[in-house]
Amino acid sequence: MRTAMRELQAHLQQSREEIETLRQELETVRSEVLTDPLTGVLNRRGSLGRLDAMLEQDGLPCLLMLDIDHFKSVNDTYGHLFGDKVIRAVATACSNLVGNNGAVARLGGEEFAALLPGVDLDEARALAEEVRIAVANGKIRRGGNHQPIGGITISIGVAVCHAGEGHASFIDRADRALYASKQGGRNRITVLED
């Protein structure tokens, strides 16, 4: 009976360890599904889940939509590896300035979003300006000769969520503000208040 009990306890411990391993693997896979592999920030799927969670909380979030200006010419001039460095640098600049209170996501290509809970429109506009300046003043080293390349800029659209608004409408308004920044000459911020 004692032998059977020891074997059962050993089997139970082994099962617990297997369950913990599986739980950790599941958490890793879940994180990978929601994270952009190039930048380490959220991807589109991850950002929508985070936005839905923010919309359920008290306080209405602000949204920054960002796009790297003339990114195709950056890739054409310096190559795709340098373009990847630019994308990572913009993601890092956004993440550093947004901090742990918000979330940064790469929506695809050279487009990003920053979700800002508990931030009013003036604070969001100020943060957008900090991000825009940080990117414009940054220099990224290129390849083997380590030549620093500057002159990378971003355009930003800013919107605050309205009470009861769904994420599709909210994202659309921030996207329209981004489009207005690009149409207005790029390297600028447009706030869409209504």
> Residue 101: its pLDDT value, please?
80
Answer positive or negative: Cα dihedral of 176, 181, 182, 184: positive
The residue from 17, 25, 27, 110 that is catalytic is 110
- Quick: pLDDT tens for 57-111: 767 899 999 999 999 999 999 899 999 999 999 999 999 999 888 899 999 899 9
Which position has the token pair 């993601």?
91
- Quick: pLDDT tens for 96-151: 999 888 899 999 899 999 999 988 999 999 999 999 999 999 988 876 667 788 88
Residue among 99, 102, 101, 112 nearest 36 (CA): 112
- Based on the residue annotation, tell me whether 111 is a catalytic residue of this protein: no
Amino acid at 184: G
> Residue 19: its pLDDT value, please?
87
Could you please report the per-residue DSSP string of 124-166? HHHHHHHHHHHHHH--EEETTTTEEE----EEEEEEEPPTT--
Residue among 129, 104, 116, 100 nearest 160 (CA): 116
